[in-house]
Structures are given as C-alpha cells and as structure tokens.
Structure 1
Amino acid sequence: MIVRSRAPLRLGLAGGGTDVSPFSDEHGGFVMNVTIDKYAYATIAASDSGLVEFESLDSQCHETMAPAEVTLAPGPTQLIRGVYLRVADRLLGGRRPPVRIRAHSDAPPGSGLGSSSTMVVTLVAAFAEYFSLALGEYEIAQLAFDIERKDLGLSGGKQDQYAAAFGGFNFMEFYANDRVIVNPLRIKDWIWNELEAGLVLYFTGVSRSSAMIIDEQARNVREGKTQSIEAMHRLKQEAVQMKEALLRGDLARLADVMRSGWEAKKQSASSISNPMIDEIEALAFANGAHAAKVSGAGGGGFMMFICDPGDRVRLVRALSRSQGSVYDAHFTPHGASAWRLG
C-alpha cells in the first residue's frame, strides 16, 4: 500500500504574530489567513528492507537507518523523523514500523508561507491515513504543533498548522493552554474572485529564518516592552477588521487594514523589515499596489500585494524587473488530504 498526502500553504492576511506565546497565552491572539494552491506533499510506503527511509526531495537528502536508531537530531530530514517518532511512540504503542517516507514542498523553507509547519501537517495526515488513525482537523493541527514546537523545539506560532489542516479563509482565535478556535468564513464568490484577481505574490529571493524574528517578538512581550505589546494589540484588532472587510466585500477597507497591519507588524520587532523590503514596497506602490506586506514572520521570503485587477499587469511587470520572482497563486478552500493507492 502507498499513501500520499498534500496540505496547502497559507497567506497571513492580518494578526500574524499574535498566535505566538507568550502573547497569545496572556492576551489571546486573533489571526486572519487564507490557503493557496501551493502545497507540501508526502508519500509513505512499506520498506521491504526492514529499515526506515527518510527522503527530503527538496534538499536531496536520503537517510536509511534501523527503526531503533531514529532520533530527533537536526538535519534536512528532521521534520520527517519528528513525525515518525511522535506517531510511532505515542500513537502506535512504541512500535516503529519499517516504512519509506518521501516529502517535498512547492515553496522553500523560510518563504513566509508556513512551509515547514505545512510539511509537518501533510506528514501527520499521511501517517493518519496509512495507520488508520482517527484524527480530525483539530487533532492533526495540534499534533503537528506539538511535534514542531515541543518535540523539536522550533520557534513559531500556531496559525500555520491550523491553516494547513482546515484550508480556506479562516478567522482563528488562540488562547492559553493550547485552546484554538477556527472560524471558517463563507466568502461570496464575487469577493473571492475580485480579491484573487488583484493579488500579486512575490518571492524576494531571500529565504530567512523566522525563529530569530519570532524569538525577538516573544522576548519583547516577556520584557514588557510597551511599543511591541501595543503593536501586537493593534495586529489583533486588525484581524477582526480584516474579517469584517472580507465578509462585507469592502476591498478598499481591506487594503487599508493590510497597510496599517503591516506598519504595526514592523513595530513588533526590529528585524521584520529591512532596506530591501522597503525598496520593493516602494516600487510596488509606484506601480498600482494599494497594500503590501510580508507573509509570515518577516525579513524576507514572500511578499503579497493587493491592487486593482486592472493594474495587475503593470505591477507584475515592474516587480519582474527586480531581483525577485512573481508567482501565480489562487485561493483554495481545501485543507490537508490523504489518499491510498493499492
């Protein structure tokens, strides 16, 4: 039997960073995001050798070892090994089956599209299907969060795992003790189409480690830095305003909220923006963009722009002349899925 899975990457529309502890634990966090048709993929099959095989196609790394030798040591296959160990040791009663696991993503690590967390979600979904584990969206997302944040000790928030598991437009609430509420939004077709027609996704060409930025945000909250905490509260309220603009189809208001949210985001940590990002942002606004922001923690990766659909070609041409790359992207209503072959 072969099992395959995929889970969608996401764009953070508003509230990003408020899903990170300790802010979400102390104040509650609100995030508005949407998934796009870029995915992380995984395949699981039996291993006839009696060994476990981990293969990251993105990094061209292939590791083979005895089941008892699998560890959480850092490396290109760490996420895959982390999922294998959590599922085997916690959900299979300590049984470590010989399997071959392969994974890859449509976006590089550090892209700002939640690629690492989405990879963990698609791996969890694949394991759930392969071993007939009864896991719903909340269970898959929480398990992925536990693997990435607790087992592997990687810095980050919670929105990426829940976006990948649920899919679509979601308003998410994050509270202490890992309490999460996902509110799927029913977006009218014309709003969906108009927003998608004016969306431009741009890769800066610079992948960055989100951990440093997220650690700075968390440190600012722990140390009680007023400017950073006030910025986080503004981000939280702008997620509510973004939700209302989406539901009403007020796209001018949506652009206003995105602009102000990006300015507030830059106040939460010094490393979120830089001269390269400022230059690209200025170029975009000079060529029809109404709003701009970095997707994810900041510092590089993907940027997203909202413009009038009639100005999209002009904006794409201008950005294409810079050092990065423009990507086509469409919203998707579907979250993680897995299926069997044979």
Structure 2
Amino acid sequence: MIITRTPFRISFFGGGTDYPGWYREHGGAVLATTINKYCYITCRRLPPFFDHKHRIVYSHIENVGSNDEIKHPAVKAVLNWMQVSEGLEVHHDGDLPARSGLGSSSSFTVGLMHALHALNGRMIGKENLASDAIHVEQNVIGENVGSQDQVSAAFGGFNRIEFHCNDAFDVAPVILPKMRRDELHSHLLLCFTGFSRIASEVAKSKIDNLKAREKELKLMRAMVDEAIALLQDVDEPIESFGKLLDASWQYKRSLSDRVSTPEIDQIYNAAMDAGAIGGKILGAGGGGFLLLFAKPERHAAIKERLSRLIHVPFEFEDSGSRVVLYQPNGL
C-alpha cells in the first residue's frame, strides 16, 4: 500500500499568465505558496478475487472492469497514460472541498501519479512529476487549466514560478526572514464562500479573452516581482502587499465576466468595509475560497461581518507531494 500527501496552494500574484496560450508567446510568472491542507491518495494492487478490476473511491465509488470504464477523468487519464494494466484500489481523501480555487484537481493528479510511481518501485523527481501532471491535465484530459497548480503541488513551498515560451519552468523559493514571513501569515484570512464552480469553464472564458486583456496580464505579471521586492524590504509596511492584492483582484475581475459574481462582490466589499486591505478569489474565480489581507486586530471584526462563511486556519508548508506510507508488499 502507498499513501501520498499532496498540498493545496494559495496563489497570490500572476495567475492567468500561467496558461500555455499566454506564456508560450509572452512568458509568465506567479507568486504562490502551498499550505498545510492536503489531498491524500491511497493506492494498492487489487488481488484478482473480485468481479471488478479497479475500485476507485472518492465522492463516488466505482467498481469497474477496465480503465476505459472509469468515470473519474483524472484517474482514467493517468491510468491510461501510465499504461496501468494491473488491478488497483485507489482512495481519495481531501482536507478541503474540490472545485474551490486551491488547486485541488492538480493536487489529486500529482498525488495519484506519485503513488503509482511508488507502487512500481520508482522515485520521480519534482520537476518530472509536475511536467507529467501538466501534460496529462492539459493534453490528455483536455482541461482548460494553467500550469502553476501542478508545479506548486509537486514542489511545495513559497515560490516564484516562471514559465518560459518553450514550456519549461523555473521554481525559485522566496527567501524571507522568519519575522517577515510570520508577519505576512498573520495578516491572511482564508474563507470559503460556500459555493463551488467548474474551474475549467471559468478558465475557458478567460483563455478566450487573453488577447483582449494583454495590458492587464502584463501588469499582473509585473506585480509578482513587485510583491517579492516589498516583502524582502523589511522596512516596507506589510500593508503594501495587501493593497497590491486588491489591485491585482481588480485586474483579475476584468479578465472575464465569470471571474466574479454579485455575491462575491458583496462578500468582498463587506470584508473591505470591516477592515480588510485587499484580497482575491483564489483559482479561476466564480466561487470557492476567498483570501483576505488585513491587520490582525481587524480579523475578529471581519469574521463577525462574514460569519456565515467558513473560516479556515492554515500554515505555510514546504514539503510538496510526499510518499507518507510506503508498503509496496502490503505489509
């Protein structure tokens, strides 16, 4: 039996420039961190004593006789792409709901691929794991997804990720004094809006609009390095990061009329009225998790104002996708 643990992520700046349709022409960059909320994949070989070949357990249970009968798109795609012929039992457990803007779909794909490699006695490097997950999601499944989530899930940590025109990427950890990193963390609030969305559908509306939003996307990419510079300048008030988040959110809202909704705008404006400095809907938009930036002394007032939302405490994490149980013989 193999169990992998793969983190979810929070993306601060540069989202949208990680779509191949953008970075293959212009290059792209994002600033993102993984958090201590995880996707767990349990995988074992299934003995040939059952009527089914594979058993896939997630929000549904699938007992199927072949790869092509699998309904879960990522499981079906990964098993076919990795040419899995033996029977498997795969279980998924997640700390937070799917389709919520934290890169959970990519964490699932990365975690499953990691588990299957381990089951076959192979170690796979973080770069190859991320690249393979990007290929499967974008080319095999055909999802309208960017490339940052797979990289964050595989590598872990607080990183500047740069995407090159030739599909290569570089991962550079953002080096900060512990006091500054703690200061940033203390200003962040993570709230679940209560409604999910199909990220691929929202993303497609943004992808279709990339050429018309060239100015906004270039500004959003520039904010990546601006944010890193102000974080590394310990004399710069940390509130500047929050103001930059707000500016980035306004640009992101303009990428498609599906990024925000009247309900999201109402929640965001209520948080700002209660003392937030900035924030954004995470992921493609349209729902899911809202990240807010505010002075710690304003957090209680914001939580009270948004009392119908679920508030999720979190920590930064640095490990990326890991095999946390390795018992290839089931012992």
TM-score per shorter chain, which class? over 0.9
Partner SS, residue 284 of structure 1: helix
- Percent identical pairs in the alignment equals 28
User: Which position in structure 1 is the counterpart of 2:206?
Assistant: 217
User: Which position in structure 2 is the counterpart of 1:235?
Assistant: 220
TM-score between both structures, scaled by the size of structure 1: 0.90
Give the conservation status (yes or no) of the 8 Å contact 2:110–2:133.
yes
- Return the alpha-carbon distance in structure 2 between the equivalents of residues 46 and 166 of structure 1: 27
User: Which position in structure 2 is the counterpart of 1:271?
Assistant: 258
- Return the alpha-carbon distance in structure 2 between the equivalents of residues 258 and 164 of structure 1: 22
Q: State which drifts further: 162-171 or 173-182.
A: 173-182
- Return the alpha-carbon distance in structure 1 between the equivalents of residues 117 and 233 of structure 2: 38
Are 2:54 and 1:79 aligned? no
- Return the alpha-carbon distance in structure 1 between the equivalents of residues 108 and 145 of structure 2: 14
Partner SS, residue 118 of structure 2: helix
Give the conservation status (yes or no) of the 8 Å contact 1:54–1:81.
no
Partner SS, residue 122 of structure 2: coil
User: Counterpart amino acid of 2:154?
Assistant: A
Structure 2 unaligned blocks of 5 or more = none
Aligned-CA RMSD value:
1.6
TM-score between both structures, scaled by the size of structure 2: 0.93
Question: Counterparts in 2 of 1:135-214, with a 5 A limit?
Answer: 135-214=124-203
User: Counterpart amino acid of 1:118?
Assistant: S
User: Which position in structure 2 is the counterpart of 1:247?
Assistant: 232
- Return the alpha-carbon distance in structure 1 between the equivalents of residues 77 and 114 of structure 2: 14
1:152 deviation in Å? 0.8
Give the conservation status (yes or no) of the 8 Å contact 1:40–1:105.
yes
Question: Counterparts in 2 of 1:47-86, with a 5 A limit?
Answer: 47-49=46-48, 51-57=52-58, 59=59, 61-66=60-65, 69-71=66-68, 75=71, 77-86=72-81
Regions of 4+ moved over 4 Å? none
> Cα distance 1:257–1:44, how it changes in 2: closer, same or farther (>3 A)?
same
Partner SS, residue 171 of structure 1: strand
From 319, 323, 328, the counterpart of 2:306: 319
1:72 deviation in Å? 7.6
Structure 1 unaligned blocks of 5 or more = 90-94
Give the conservation status (yes or no) of the 8 Å contact 1:53–1:62.
no
Q: State which drifts further: 190-199 or 115-124.
A: 190-199
Matched pairs, number: 323
Give the conservation status (yes or no) of the 8 Å contact 2:17–2:28.
yes
User: Which position in structure 2 is the counterpart of 1:292?
Assistant: 279
From 121, 125, 129, the counterpart of 1:132: 121
Give the conservation status (yes or no) of the 8 Å contact 1:7–1:39.
yes
Question: Counterparts in 2 of 1:79-98, with a 5 A limit?
Answer: 79-87=74-82, 89=83, 96-98=85-87
